[in-house]
Structure 1
Amino acid sequence: MPLPISGARARARRTNTSVFRPGVQRSLCALLLAVGLSNWATAQTTEPTTTPAQTLTLQAALQAAQARSYALAAQDAAALAAREMAVAAGRLPDPMLSLSVDNLPVDGPMRFSLTEDFMTMRSVGLTQTFVREGKRRARAARFEREADTAEAARVMQLAELRRDTALAWFERYYRQQIVALLTRQREEAALQIEAADAAWRAGRGAQAEVFMARSAVARIEDRIREATAHEANATTQLARWVGELATAPLGEAPPIGRTPAAAHHLAERIAHHPDIALMASKEAVVRAEADVARQDKRADWSASLMYSRRGDAFSNMVSFAVSVPLQWDQKNRQDRELAARLAQAEQARAEREEMTRAHLAETERWLTIWRSNLERLGDYDDSLIPLAGERTRAALAAYRGGQGALAAVLEARRTEIDTRLERLRIEMETAALWAELEYLIPADAEIGSIAAAPQALPTDTQEPQR
């Protein structure tokens, strides 16, 4: 069934068929398509000449995410608490003051009298437990190791925050690129409809080509809707880290062809991985607890002094006392506890070694794929995309010369656009791998500044990290 044609279009059709020869009509269609393809190729290579005044660069996103994070402030508070406990653990226990009335008669003529019976005494005493200095140092050192663990956890939180923020930033950046590319593809596909319709009205093309062009536009619009949804989700994920800045225009992407992980000996660098450092600090805590258990094998002793006052007719008294716990079953109590702590330390060491191997293998895999993707991107830039463009131009030249079909031109252009989309997908994957490698370990200077100057707790006006 032929397409419905309005009166104006019917008159135009009669005019076209009566005035222009078939060869001229083909040349006009080719010219229309050539202009569209030229505009599309120019859009692929033209860089923006102006930059928005307020753009969200990757570095700005990282700084915003760090400023908004409650996780870092929580670890600062944990480290402060542990260091305060370390000071308290290094001191002697508080002395104990005791007040008592001894031998108070409760019957007879002297009942409830504090002074008549010579055995009744009103006493005040002071007891002090003396903990050895070595044991106090061991207990303080344990809390110091807990503070180190909190600082290591902060470094790990910082590394994860930066990595996740960078991944979210790159996700939104490349989703925008995909939407822009598909939008340009839709505009070029609309020209396909015009060219196919003009050729059909001129009697030089089949009506099926018109339907084919319209179907291509419908498929592209469906892909645009899908890509737009992915872009919205990427913006939502970025807002989880940077808040309202997520909707700001993005700046230029940083170069992803270099990373410190590729320039250093990987095994040595992995030793400073935040996860490994955290495991090492937890191992140090357990070893400090083992040292405390070792010191507990030597019992503490307590000394007491008591002054007792009796009636005026009787002499006052002073009492001295020393008490020492009897560790009569050390092999089943203190020794067992020490052995348990040492076993826990060995467990922590083994887990750290196993995690080191896992991170080393994972990072080597990332580096291999990252290097391979960089080579693939070079192949796309040097050969695949230029060849796809040459194919499009060759098909267009053949169509102009009457040696090719319009379908071949459209297929060549679709192949070129699909090639560009595939390159964009590979670049997005490469950027994600670069973020994993780039923020694998925070810079030493940053770690030092973090330890030297912990951040203040966020105020109530800041949005908490979810």
Structure 2
Amino acid sequence: MSSPFFAHRDALSGSVRKLSQINFALALLLGAHAAQAQPLTLGQAQQLAVDRSRQLIAQDHAATAAHEMAVAAGQLPDPVLKVGIDNLPVNGSDRLTLGSDFMTMRRIGVSQELTRADKLRWRSARLEREADKAQAEKQAATAAIQRDTAIAWLEVFYTDQMADVIAKQTALARQEIEAAEAAYRGGRGGQADILAARSALLALDDRGDEIGRRRRVAQTMLARWTGAEAAVAGKPDIDNIRLDTAEPDALLAHHPQIAVLNRQQDIAQADANLAQANQRTDWSVEVAFQQRGAAYSNMVSIGISVPLQWDRKNRQDRELAGKLALVEQARAERDETLRGHEAEVRTQIVEWRSGRERLSRYTRETLPLASERSQVALAAYRGGKATLAEVLAARRNETETRMQALQLELDTARLWAQLNFLAPEDSTTGHAAINR
């Protein structure tokens, strides 16, 4: 019989264990929440987007399917088993009998098409080119994911900074309202100053709502790639790109989208080679065993079948001409797309450089000048040499200048992302992964 002391001790131990389990579960939940709240760097966001992409998995399956079908296409067709009855009487005394008439035979045979080796090779090669195209499309999709994720990340990053500017200016605007009301009560200011300060605050609130809307949209787009909304941290070096701006054509020749068109051209060429191989016919061989009635000898038949290309100029020759025309079509489309990419990239390089120069001028001259103007207006107001309206105008000018600088930096960062992720970046080496 257990004592009350030991029963109380066991109950207390059970409560302690249960409380420890609850604390451990809470710690896990808090740790998971802290992990989710951890700010994402640009590289981390891109890696998450690539890892969770279903499109890349689909391209891997497409490549695997093409490889498997390429092996099957390189094999000879399956042999054909043939079973039948020849020369079965349908009237007379031997009607529907198998062993009475000397011409009646039960036949079993096998036929095999002897496809030419070059045809099998080109059928297989054509599907291998499909697999290469699927891999090139995967590279293009990876570059697009990294680029779009970077743009969404940059939108969040810079709208956060814009929101900070608005928040700081809003706090100052509230202080200015308080100062205007105090001056009005002390007989040193007019009611117009209070109304002007309140109007300035309303304008900042409206601007803040607009920035908040942009930030929510940017967070939604970033979550589309990373899987969840998260804060962002770190600032990419938008002054440098992986592309050689002096000679961008070297990379563009192996741009993922151009690589896809190159693989499409290879597929068209493989079709043309197969059409050329089809100008030479394939033979079929058949062997059959015929069993007759018990009074007659059994027989063996051997045959060869050869297709007759009796209208080659209107069939095989025209098929080859059509396939060769498709090769030229693929080559022309590839060249035209390359020209378009070259012009687009060169334009983006010009705009990116211009944005950097303008941003440098904002940082070096425009922003310090706007800040100094605000400080001078505030000092003059405190000394009774300026009105509150002049201070508010200087504040609005400074806020607008900072917002313009951030918008310019965001526009330049977008161009940087478009140029820097023309080709996918290898997460392990940090270099472009180009499908050659």
Question: By the TM > 0.5 criterion, same fold?
Answer: yes
Q: 1:291 to 1:372 in 2, by over 3 A?
A: same
Residue 391 of structure 2: aligned partner: 409
Query: Is the 2:245–2:349 Cα contact (8 Å) retained in structure 1?
Result: no
Q: Does 1:140 align with 2:124?
A: yes
Q: Does 1:128 align with 2:112?
A: yes
Residue 211 of structure 1: aligned partner: 195
By how many angstroms is 1:399 displaced?
2.4
After superposing the two structures, state which structure 1 stretch, 363-372 or 398-407, moved more.
Answer: 398-407
By how many angstroms is 1:53 displaced?
7.3
By how many angstroms is 1:450 displaced?
10
By how many angstroms is 1:58 displaced?
1.1
Residue 197 of structure 1: aligned partner: 181
In 2, distance between residues paired with 1:447 and 1:68?
21
Residue 153 of structure 1: aligned partner: 137
Structure 2 unaligned segments of length 5 or more: list them: 1-34
Residue 249 of structure 2: aligned partner: 267
In 2, distance between residues paired with 1:114 and 1:403?
127
After superposing the two structures, state which structure 1 stretch, 433-442 or 200-209, moved more.
Answer: 200-209
Aligned AA (1:182): I
Residue 305 of structure 1: aligned partner: 287
Residue 361 of structure 2: aligned partner: 379
Query: Is the 1:182–1:223 Cα contact (8 Å) retained in structure 2?
Result: yes
Kindly provide the CA deviation profile for residues 5-48 of structure 1, in whole angstroms up to 9, marking residues without a partner as x. xxxxxxxxxxxxxxxxxxxxxxxxxxxxxxxxxxxxxxxxxxxx
Kindly provide the CA deviation profile for residues 107-126 of structure 1, in whole angstroms up to 9, marking residues without a partner as x. 33222221121111011111
Residue 232 of structure 1: aligned partner: 216
Query: Is the 1:261–1:438 Cα contact (8 Å) retained in structure 2?
Result: yes
Residue 29 of structure 2: aligned partner: none
Q: 1:389 to 1:450 in 2, by over 3 A?
A: closer
Please list, as runs of the form range in 1=range in 2, the aligned pairs for 1:29-108 lying within 5 A after superposition.
54-108=38-92
Aligned AA (2:199): S
By how many angstroms is 1:263 displaced?
4.8
TM-score, L = length of structure 1: 0.82
Q: Does 1:357 align with 2:343?
A: no
Kindly provide the CA deviation profile for residues 107-154 of structure 1, in whole angstroms up to 9, marking residues without a partner as x. 332222211211110111110110111111111111111111111111
Aligned AA (2:180): A
Which residue of 235, 254, 258 corresponds with 1:253?
235
Q: Does 1:345 align with 2:327?
A: yes
By how many angstroms is 1:264 displaced?
5.8
By how many angstroms is 1:348 displaced?
0.9
In 2, distance between residues paired with 1:411 and 1:261?
43
Structure 1 unaligned segments of length 5 or more: list them: 1-50, 452-466
In 1, distance between residues paired with 2:252 and 2:384?
63
Which residue of 296, 307, 315 corresponds with 1:325?
307
Query: Is the 2:200–2:392 Cα contact (8 Å) retained in structure 1?
Result: no
Task: Report how many aligned residue pairs link the two structures.
Answer: 399
Which residue of 263, 269, 284 corresponds with 2:266?
284
Q: Secondary structure at the match of 2:267?
A: helix
By how many angstroms is 1:52 displaced?
10
In 2, distance between residues paired with 1:324 and 1:174?
73
Residue 173 of structure 1: aligned partner: 157
Aligned AA (1:139): R
Q: Secondary structure at the match of 1:260?
A: coil
Query: Is the 1:155–1:447 Cα contact (8 Å) retained in structure 2?
Result: no
Q: Secondary structure at the match of 1:249?
A: coil
Q: 1:446 to 1:411 in 2, by over 3 A?
A: closer
By how many angstroms is 1:448 displaced?
10
Query: Is the 1:262–1:367 Cα contact (8 Å) retained in structure 2?
Result: no
Q: 1:415 to 1:262 in 2, by over 3 A?
A: farther
In 2, distance between residues paired with 1:240 and 1:277?
27
Kindly provide the CA deviation profile for residues 305-354 of structure 1, in whole angstroms up to 9, marking residues without a partner as x. 11101112111111111111110111111111111111111111111111
Q: Secondary structure at the match of 2:227?
A: helix
Residue 19 of structure 2: aligned partner: none
By how many angstroms is 1:401 displaced?
3.0
In 2, distance between residues paired with 1:140 and 1:119?
45
Q: Secondary structure at the match of 1:429?
A: helix
What's the Cα RMSD here? 1.9
Query: Is the 1:66–1:158 Cα contact (8 Å) retained in structure 2?
Result: yes
In 1, distance between residues paired with 2:37 and 2:115?
65
By how many angstroms is 1:414 displaced?
1.6
Residue 398 of structure 1: aligned partner: 380
By how many angstroms is 1:67 displaced?
1.3
In 2, distance between residues paired with 1:197 and 1:376?
40
By how many angstroms is 1:403 displaced?
2.4
In 1, distance between residues paired with 2:164 and 2:110?
82
By how many angstroms is 1:60 displaced?
1.1
